């Protein structure tokens, strides 16, 4: 298998006409086969093309059980099983902490000193590039998709799935919120040892269900062995949120008993 370098990535960016844009990137490093400088080949090609990268840098390790007075109904949480032993890590916006499942590219972006990381103890986004600060500033624990709201209705914003499918496309959760669903509430440990209430997304295992509807705006190219699927951000959100409004069950994964899917479809937590 041939090695992919920054020039190949730059050529793909030019081919897609997405220079100087904002890219919500969901990626699998492995999908490329061999990348000459690892994640840096990709990151530096986007930066050299004037792009701003926005990636999920989630920290599930900071999760703690809810305080007893915050046991919201319809919140897909098995409160009876909650264990109150305090093993969680505290979220630190300046750290490189990230859950392993997010992959090597977001983990590497966190190590760039110019990166801007969001204020969310469980589902932070991190941005790198000329527009990073403006995008990330609007994320907060009870506005988990604040950064995505910023990008909605702006031109030159794209969702790029590089070697992953729609089950990794976090913006679909923003579209669910836009369709009227309340987001689940979870809790996390902060640096001062307090417990922060934070919004999080629901189950994403069923999100390939949107593939057919999104085909009309999707562009696909192969970069080495990595299949890239590109969508304009605002049309993506509009198509998905309208589809959810029309048929709430469209987000359901293949497990009929999935509590997160069931509670999300009912509208999310009852916040009282
Ligand atoms: Zn599910």
**pLDDT tens for residues 51-77?**
999 999 999 999 999 988 999 999 999
Give pLDDT, residue 83. Answer: 74
For residues 211 and 229, what is the distance between their CA atoms, to the nearest angstrom? 11
Please report which confidence band the pLDDT of residue 86 belongs to, taking 50, 70 and 90 as the band edges.
low
What is the token pair recorded at 54? 């926005």
The distance in angstroms from the start CA to the end CA of the chain is: 56
> pLDDT value at position 202?
97
- The predicted structure's pLDDT at residue 1: 60
Q: Distance from the CA of 207 to the center of ligand 1, in angstroms?
A: 9
Question: 184 CA to middle of ligand 1, Å?
Answer: 13
Task: State the distance from the centre of ligand 1 to the C-alpha of 157, rounded, in angstroms.
Answer: 28
Using the Cα atoms of residue 242, residue 247, residue 249 and residue 254 in order, give the sign of their dihedral: negative
Question: What phi, psi does 121 have (nearest 5°)?
Answer: -70, -15
Residue 158's pLDDT band (cuts 50, 70, 90): very high
How big is the chain by its Cα radius of gyration, in Å?
18
Q: Distance from the CA of 203 to the center of ligand 1, in angstroms?
A: 5
**Distance from the alpha carbon of residue 39 to the mean position of ligand 1, in angstroms:** 31
120 C-alpha to center of ligand 1: Å?
23
Q: How far is the CA of 77 from the centre of ligand 1 (A)?
A: 13
Q: How many CB atoms lie within 10 A of CB 147?
A: 27
266/183 Cα distance (integer angstroms): 11
With the CA atoms of 70, 74, 77 and 79 taken in that order, what torsion angle do they form, in degrees rounded to the nearest 10?
Answer: 50
Is 254 or 67 the better-scoring residue by pLDDT? 254
Q: Identify the CA nearest to 175 among candidates 241, 268, 263.
A: 241
Residue 239 structure tokens:
């198509």
What pLDDT, on a 0 to 100 scale, did the predictor assign at position 170?
98
In the three-class reduction of DSSP (H, G, I as helix; E, B as strand; rest coil), residue 267 is classed as coil
Q: What does the alpha-carbon distance between residue 51 and residue 195 come to, in Å, rounded to a whole number?
A: 36
Helical residues (DSSP H) of the chain, grouped into ranges: 6-16, 39-48, 104-109, 132-136, 146-151, 171-178, 211-214, 233-246, 259-265
pLDDT of 193: 84
Across the range 173-197, mean pLDDT stands at: 94
Cβ atoms 116, 131 nearer than 8 A:
no
Distance from the Cα of residue 255 to its chain's centroid: 22
Write down the pLDDT at residue 85.
63
Q: For 12-36, what is the mean pLDDT?
A: 97
Going by pLDDT thresholds of 50, 70 and 90, the confidence category of residue 33 is: very high
- Determine the average pLDDT of the residues in 240-263: 98
Q: 257: CA distance to ligand 1 center in Å?
A: 8
pLDDT bracket for residue 194 (50, 70, 90): confident
- pLDDT at position 87: 66
- pLDDT confidence of residue 232: 98
Centre of ligand 1 to C-alpha 205, Å, is 6
Q: Across-strand partners of 217?
A: none
Mean pLDDT on 74-87: 82
Is residue 236's pLDDT more than 70? yes
**pLDDT at res. 59:** 96
CA of 259 to the centre of ligand 1 (A): 7
- Kindly give the distance from the C-alpha atom of residue 61 to the centroid of ligand 1, in angstroms, as a whole number: 21
Decide if 109 contacts 55 (C-beta within 8 A): yes
* Cα 218 to ligand 1 centroid, rounded to whole Å: 24
Alpha-carbon gap, residue 229 to 207, rounded angstroms: 14
Residues of the chain with pLDDT > 70: what percent? 98
Residue 84 pLDDT? 64
User: Separation of 247 CA from ligand 1 center, angstroms?
Assistant: 16
3-class state of residue 257 by DSSP: coil
CA 202 to centroid of ligand 1, rounded, Å: 8
The answer to pTM > 0.95 is yes
Give the distance (Å) from ligand 1 centre to CA of residue 263.
10
User: CB–CB of 179/43 below 8 Å?
Assistant: no
Distance in Å, CA 48 to ligand 1 centroid: 39
Higher pLDDT, 272 or 137: 137
């Amino acid at each position: 298998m041939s090695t992919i370098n920054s020039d190949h990535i730059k050529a793909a960016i030019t081919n897609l006409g997405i220079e100087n844009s904002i890219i919500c990137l969901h990626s699998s490093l492995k999908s490329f086969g061999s990348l000459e400088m690892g994640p840096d080949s990709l990151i530096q090609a986007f930066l050299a093309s004037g792009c701003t990268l926005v990636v999920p840098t989630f920290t599930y390790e900071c999760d703690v059980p809810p305080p007893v007075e915050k046991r919201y109904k319809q919140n897909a949480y098995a409160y009876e099983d909650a264990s109150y032993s305090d093993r969680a890590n505290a979220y630190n916006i300046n750290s490189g902490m990230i859950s392993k499942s997010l992959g090597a590219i977001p983990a590497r972006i966190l190590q760039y000193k110019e990166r801007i990381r969001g204020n969310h103890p469980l589902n932070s986004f991190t941005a790198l590039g000329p527009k990073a600060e403006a995008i990330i500033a609007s994320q907060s624990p009870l506005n988990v998709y604040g950064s995505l709201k910023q990008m909605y209705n702006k031109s030159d914003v794209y969702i790029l799935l590089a070697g992953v499918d729609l089950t990794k496309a976090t913006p679909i959760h923003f579209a669910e919120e836009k369709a009227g669903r309340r987001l689940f509430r979870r809790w996390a440990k902060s640096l001062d040892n307090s417990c922060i209430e934070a919004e999080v997304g629901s189950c994403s295992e069923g999100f390939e269900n949107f593939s057919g509807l999104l085909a009309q705006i999707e562009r696909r190219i192969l970069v080495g062995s990595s299949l890239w699927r590109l969508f304009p951000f605002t049309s993506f959100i509009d198509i998905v949120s309208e589809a959810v409004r029309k048929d709430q069950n469209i987000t359901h994964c293949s497990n009929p008993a999935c509590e997160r899917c069931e509670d999300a479809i009912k509208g999310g937590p009852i916040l009282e």
